[in-house]
Chains A and B, each alone.
Chain A
Amino acid sequence: MKEELFVSGRNLPNIDPQLHVWHWPIPVYLFLGGLSAGILFFAALYVIKNKGKDLPDSYKKALFVPPVALVLGLIALLFDLTHLFYSWRLFTTIRLESPMSWGAWTLLTITPLAFLWAASNIKLLFPQWDWKYDWIKAIFKFWNENLKYIVWLVILLSVILGIYTGILLSAFNARPLWNTSILGPLFLSSALSGGAAVLIFFSNNEEEKKIFVKLSMLLIVIEGFLFTHMFMGFLASNQVQLEAAEMFLGGDYTIHFWIFDVIVGLIIPLVLELIWLRKQNFSLKIVALLLLFGGIMMRFTMVHAGQAARYLY
Chain B
Amino acid sequence: MRYAMVIDTLKCVGCSDCVVACQTENNVPIGYCRDWVVEAVNGTYPQLELEIRTERCNHCENSPCVRCCPTGASHIVEGGVVLVTHDECIGCGACIESCPYDARYQHPEGYVDKCTFCLHRVKDGLLPACVSVCPTRCMYFGDLEDPNSEVSKLLKKRDYKTLAPEAGTNPHIFYLI
A interface, CB within 8 angstroms of B: 1-16, 19, 21-22, 80-84, 86-87, 89-90, 92-93, 95, 97-101, 103-104, 168, 171-175, 238, 307, 311-313
* A8 x B111 contact (CB < 8 A): no
B100 touches A313 (CB 8 A): yes
In the bound assembly, the distance between CA atoms of A284 and B21 in angstroms comes to 64
| CB–CB A81/B98 < 8 A | no
Q: How far is the CB of B106 from chain A (nearest CB, A)?
A: 5
Contact B68 A171 (CB under 8 A): yes
Q: Which residue of A lies closest to B66 (CB)?
A: A97
> B68 near A19 (CB under 8 angstroms)?
no
Asked whether B38 lies within 8 Å of A4 as measured between CB atoms, the reply is yes
19 other contacts beyond A83-B86, A95-B70, A168-B94, with CB at 8 A cut-off?
Answer: A3-B41, A5-B39, A7-B38, A7-B39, A8-B37, A8-B54, A14-B105, A16-B102, A19-B102, A82-B106, A82-B110, A82-B111, A83-B91, A87-B90, A98-B67, A171-B98, A172-B94, A173-B168, A307-B97
* Interface residues, chain B, with chain A CB atoms under 8 Å away: 14, 16, 19, 31-33, 35-44, 52, 54, 64, 67-73, 86-94, 96-102, 105-106, 109-112, 163-164, 166-168
Give chain B residues whose Cβ lies under 8 Å from the Cβ of A98: 67-70, 94
Across-interface contacts of B166 in A (CB, < 8 A): 238
What number of A-B contacts does a CB cutoff of 8 Å give?
155
What is the CA–CA distance of A257 and B34 in the complex, to the nearest angstrom?
Answer: 35
| Distance, CA A98 to CA B64, complexed state (A) | 10
Interchain CB contact (< 8 A) of B90 among A14, A90, A97? A90
A144–B32 CA distance with the chains assembled, in angstroms: 56
Give 28 CB contacts A-B under 8 Å.
A1-B43, A1-B44, A3-B41, A6-B38, A10-B33, A10-B36, A13-B31, A21-B97, A21-B106, A82-B110, A83-B89, A83-B90, A83-B91, A86-B88, A89-B88, A90-B71, A93-B70, A93-B71, A95-B71, A98-B69, A98-B70, A100-B92, A173-B100, A173-B168, A174-B64, A174-B98, A174-B99, A307-B97
| Cα distance, A99 to B164, chains bound together (Å) | 24
- Give the interface centre of B31, B93, B111 by most chain A CB atoms within 10 Å: B93
Q: Which of A13, A14, A80 is B92 in contact with, Cβ under 8 Å?
A: A80
Q: Which residues of A contact B14 (CB under 8 A)?
A: 7-8
- In the docked arrangement, what's the CA distance between A174 and B32, Å? 22
A2 near B93: Cβ-Cβ < 8 Å: no
Query: How far does the alpha carbon of A172 sit from the alpha carbon of B99 in the complex, in Å?
Result: 8
Residues of the A chain whose Cβ atoms lie less than 8 Å from the Cβ of B90: 81, 83-84, 86-87, 89-90
Closest A residue by C-beta to B73: A89
Contact in complex: B64, A13 (CB < 8 Å): no
Task: Please name all residues of chain B whose beta carbon is closer than 8 Å to the beta carbon of A89 when the two chains form the complex.
Answer: 71, 73, 88-90
